[in-house]
Amino acid sequence: MKARSYRQRDLACTEYTLEVPLDHARPDGERIEVYAREIVDAAKVDAGLPRLLFLQGGPGGKGLRPSSRGGWLGRALQDYRVVVLDQRGTGLSTPANRQTLARRGDAKVQADYLTHFRADAIVADSEVLRRELQRDQPWTVLGQSYGGFCALTYLSFAPEGLREVFVTGGLPPLGGTADDVYTLTYVRTLEKNALYFDRHPGDRDLCARVVEHLETHDVRLPTGERLSPRRFQTAGMRLGMRADFDGLHYLLEESFVDGVDGPELSDTFLTGLGGSLSFATNPLYAVLHEPIYCQGSASAWSAERLHAQRPEFALEADTPFLFTGEMIYPFLFAEDPALVPLREAAEILAAKDDWPALYDPDQLARNDVPTFAALYYEDMYVARELSLATAAAVRRVTPWITNEHEHDGLRVAGVLDRLIGLSKETS
């Protein structure tokens, strides 16, 4: 393992790069690199603090890049040395995107490669890192959103590596199918639309005007592709984050300007919208979003199939406009330049019906690792019904159910403080 240390303001950081098997079931096969950064309060470098591994949301999200001690990181640094992982395929770990995957071969080869980028592999990577850093000593894990999914996989298959677990907005369903997930998240998305248009009532007609303009004009995003009405509709993915909820409104209020030939969509609007719609920085999010729910079944483009059963989301003149939410649709692989080269591989993954299990319900039922989970009652991304069922099925889970925060509640330092407080109360 390679290591490099440096100071950044009042933080002491050490970067680690280590090689791990692409397929942990074949340790002598192909190897890839995984990158992690350890962050310590510079005043506590020699304090002997235990380590906390932070597992980022996603899939396909790289680890936190620290710039200050604000938010949850500042709270964590009071008690821990924080290890932030660039999950395989992201950040400074061996990347997986349209550029690197093209070097591997055809779509089938790419799809086979991508089957090794789910939570089970991330947990196995984490265990390699843990043993490199502290041998057999267990550590604490904090999983945000998809990181919480990974934490439950960790509890299932490598509980000996865990001292305690904190989960924020990420208790996953232990069984079922992707259809079960999207059936509920479409309902949450309807609720978020109602809240949004109640707060910004003029935006519904404005969105309908944008859709009409896109249907009758060839509008190009800064990346060159035509902006379709359905792709504009996916901007609602932001509605589940408190920090982004009103940002969509502020973007829309600058949507039109008067051009030479009449009203047209402004560069300001298209640039802001294009940045939020592109998967160029996290293509694994799109490719693996439905497979993260698959265990022994195919997703078969679940969100798209269920969309066809939800006439409320139709872009018809006589249907009030609604945004969609955290759903990945096959048309995105025909429209987003970052995803177009991955279209065939994504189709293969959507049809794959022999995905291995990500959770062990029996092991979780006898779990002995103290686990503390923040469940956001109005979470648009992780349905409370499924999270509550998981909390009831996993031994030694202490849930904190709240409607005070949205899915991005971890950004508020008090959320982690509450979970750490629960841990201390029960120890």
377, β-bridge pairs: none
Rounded Cα distance, 50 and 310, in Å = 49
Question: Out of 145, 228, 255, 387, which one is annotated catalytic?
Answer: 145
How far is C-alpha 306 from the chain's CA centre? Answer: 21
Rounded Cα distance, 274 and 351, in Å = 29
- Asked if residues 170 and 57 have their Cβ atoms less than 8 Å apart, the reply is yes
Question: Out of 116, 213, 289, 407, which one is annotated catalytic?
Answer: 407
Rounded Cα distance, 51 and 242, in Å = 29
**Is 93 a catalytic site residue?**
no
**Is 408 a catalytic site residue?**
no
Distant-in-sequence, close-in-space partners of 395: CB < 8 Å, separation ≥ 6: 364, 365, 366, 367, 368
- Asked if residues 127 and 158 have their Cβ atoms less than 8 Å apart, the reply is yes
What is each CA distance from 155 to 152, 162, 177, 281, 365, in whole angstroms? 5, 8, 21, 29, 10
**Is 354 a catalytic site residue?**
yes
What is each CA distance from 298 to 294, 323, 393, in whole angstroms? 6, 26, 24
Rounded Cα distance, 299 and 293, in Å = 8
Rounded Cα distance, 241 and 247, in Å = 10
- Asked if residues 21 and 27 have their Cβ atoms less than 8 Å apart, the reply is yes
Rounded Cα distance, 348 and 71, in Å = 40
**Could you give the residue numbers annotated as active site?**
145, 354, 407
